[in-house]
Amino acid sequence: MRFSIINFMPMLWAGALFGFAFSQTDSTAKPPFVQDMQTVIGILNANNITTVDPEEIIKMENGRVVGLNLKNDDYKKPLVKTLPGTIGKLTALRELSLSRNFLKQLPTEIGSLPELRVLKLGENNLKSLPESMKNLQKLESLDLRYNGLTSLPDVCMSMKNLKKLQLWGNDLETLPDGICGLDSLRELYLQRNQLKTLPACITRMKSIVYMDFNFNKLCNVTPELQAWLKKWDGDYFAAQYCR
């Protein structure tokens, strides 16, 4: 069932933790629950989203919004055209999905989400990321698929707890040496880029347990890198664009 933004909040949560309704412009002191709900409504209103299924977009725990799913399933019409800076008020948020929205930039305030573990930004038009994202020190999974990236944003090298990095479907020709400093990285997805080489230090990354690199241009790499690639996939060369 889908609800109007105006009506779904009282219908779903009124009486659960608080026995009152609230307005988006209320300036009085608010419990975290109320502030979180107003923030979500503000994001929806800023994008002219008039109906929504609350169970599909919001996950609640202990009266706080810990999950927000704004993934767009309609490629022809972006769901979220802009992400307001108020996103930074969702301080309990652990998972945020903004996939398939054609977003060109993110607000600086996205770096004000101290509990964020999972950030899904795939299938947008993000050529860079805010420097403030270096503050996302609990981030474990970052999805940057199909953004047309020609270089990996420097801020990614500050995410020391990152375990999963999805980069496939971009235009990367190489990776910076700084990626080797991601000591917690376990999964690295690189397929369908323009990679012609990889940093030599990547062969010494002990934390990685899964990597894909098919459909790149890893054709004339160093013997050391070639031997390392063959350990992952003995027939990797056949899946490169080397003709």
Residue-wise pLDDT tens digits, 208-238 = 999 999 999 999 999 999 999 999 999 999 9
Measured between alpha carbons, how far is residue 215 from residues 18, 56, 72, 88, 194 in Å?
A: 54, 34, 27, 37, 8
Q: What is the mean pLDDT of the chain?
A: 89
**Bigger pLDDT: 36 vs 27:** 36
Residue-wise pLDDT tens digits, 82-91 = 999 999 999 9
Which band of pLDDT confidence, cut at 50, 70 and 90, is reported for residue 28?
Answer: low
Residue-wise pLDDT tens digits, 165-184 = 999 999 999 999 999 999 99
Residue ranges of domains in the chain = 143-243
Identify the weakest region by mean pLDDT among 25-34, 111-120, 144-153. 25-34
Q: Which residues of 35-49 are buried (b: 16+ CB within 10 A; e: fewer)?
A: bbbbbbbbbbeebeb
Q: Tell me the CATH class for 143-243.
A: alpha beta
Q: What share of the chain is helix, strand, coil (3-state, %, to 5)?
A: 30, 15, 55
- Amino acid letter for position 43: I
Which band of pLDDT confidence, cut at 50, 70 and 90, is reported for residue 1?
Answer: very low
Measured between alpha carbons, how far is residue 70 from residues 49, 67, 80, 179 in Å?
A: 11, 10, 7, 29
CA atoms within 13 A on the CB side of 207: 17
Residue-wise pLDDT tens digits, 54-92 = 888 999 999 999 999 999 988 788 889 999 999 999 999
Contact 80, 56 (CB under 8 A): no
pTM of this prediction? 0.89
